[in-house]
Amino acid sequence: MAEGKEIRPVKRGLTGTIRIPGDKSISHRSVMFSAIAKGKVRVMNFLEAADCLSTAACMRTLGAGVDRQADGALLVTGVGLHGLKEPQCVLDAGNSGTTLRLLLGISAAQPFFSAFAGDASLSGRPMARVIEPLSRMGAVIKGRAGNRFLPLAVLPREGRLRAMDYESPVASAQVKSAILLAGLYADSGTTLKEPALSRDHTERMLGAFGATLRREGTTVTIEPADELFSPEEIIVPGDISSAAYWLVAASLIEGSDLVLEDVGVNPTRTGILEVLSDMGADITLSNERESGGEALADIRVRAASLHGVSFGGAIIPRLIDEIPILAVAALFAEGDTVISGAAELRVKETDRLKAVTTELNRLAPGAVEATEDGMIIRGDRALSPAVCRTYDDHRMAMSLAVAGAAGEGVTLDAPACINISYPSFFETLDNLVQ
């Protein structure tokens, strides 16, 4: 059995300045969109983590050049919108829903066959949410259990896909992106409406590659394109979802004063800053600027005493991946926190509502109650050290590590899953506490 990881209680404040690894969502898109554009793109600060490496490997298998440069940049040599080649092996998306769902949107329009696989977690995650709308556009996708799960096969499509008007039942950037990518290959404009605005990195980046998109509220239309044109360089901002662990750790650990540099603060991702501020966190942004259509800032966070809050509704997609770490913040806050409208957490890398509830209750018995679509967290309970399960879910592992560091310690049964999005997480924690 792989070794567990012990996280000791941190008794001294976290101070200094740290850089956050590149944004996972933007890294995926930078390699994928560069691969289907004409020309070469240098991607700076690409996230070298397992999920994004799955995307890079798939794009290589489809014929694009993806090469690490001596200076650390990733050089992507695109083959053009119609230049991908039939893969000679199964495309392996690993643990990554973004790799699989976005690539299905591209593969749906190709005149060749492709087959997809992934790990055990991804094989249990719902794919009908992209297969159904793509099928309406004329794609033929076959999969396990009635075309709903991996493994999947995409049959060759001759001619353009059919444009459509689609109302998505879920606020999901992966669903939206799959349809927008297919829309590039459609016979006229494709429109998608989502119930709340999800992250809009696809819209921003496709726009920077010359695609024509219009947005009105939560509705976006994309026009078909003959070709995409590469910007010479993409600079990936730091991932606010990775910064989130330090925002909460520094808020909770007395004496902390930490600066996180060059963090992406796209408004579709900053729900975490709003909720933490509502809880009483001391967070300030400086050096706010824009790069490649994405907002960036340095974020300073100082220790503060937090109190419980209620949140749900339209803010959920803006902090969907931060709910486990927000639950940790709530565990240390005074009073109750009520999270609603977050049923999507049940279909992430694991059922995060169940996993967060079970594991935080090991540290503070009876503190957390799962509801149908959220959690109630009763804060400021007595904590004790415990052995916790990560469920091989990177966000569970890092959230529990922060709970242990700010509390009475924790041992993680399977810590290696942090490599999915933040391979240097434990090293950064070690450096901060030395």
Q: Give contact residues for ligand S3P (rule: CB under 6 A).
A: 25, 28, 97-98, 172-174, 177, 198-199, 320-321, 344
Q: For strand 74-79 and strand 38-44, is the pairing parallel, antiparallel, or unpaired?
A: antiparallel
What is the chain's length? 434
Helical segments of 62-186, H only: 97-107, 120-123, 128-136, 144-147, 173-183
Based on CB atoms, which residue is closest to ligand S3P, 34 or 177?
177
Based on CB atoms, which residue is closest to ligand S3P, 168 or 256?
168
* Smallest separation (angstroms) from ligand S3P to the CB of 241: 7
Calculate ∠ Cα 228-233-235, nearest 5°. 115
- Whether 200 is catalytic: no
* Smallest separation (angstroms) from ligand S3P to the CB of 283: 22
* Smallest separation (angstroms) from ligand S3P to the CB of 153: 22
Based on CB atoms, which residue is closest to ligand S3P, 157 or 395?
395
Query: Quick one: tokens of 134?
Result: 């793509």
Q: Which residues, in sequence order, are bridge partners of residue 164? A: none
The full DSSP string for 287-353 is EEEEETTEEEEEEEEE----B--EE-GGGGGGSGGGHHHHHHHHHHSBSEEEE-S-GGGGGSSS-HH
Based on CB atoms, which residue is closest to ligand S3P, 98 or 390?
98
Based on CB atoms, which residue is closest to ligand S3P, 57 or 140?
57
* Smallest separation (angstroms) from ligand S3P to the CB of 378: 26
Among residues 200, 321, 380, 392, the one annotated as catalytic is 321
* Smallest separation (angstroms) from ligand S3P to the CB of 129: 8
154 in Cβ contact with 130 (< 8 Å): no
61: Cβ contacts below 8 Å, ≥ 6 apart: 87, 88, 89, 91
278 in Cβ contact with 300 (< 8 Å): no
Catalytic positions: 321
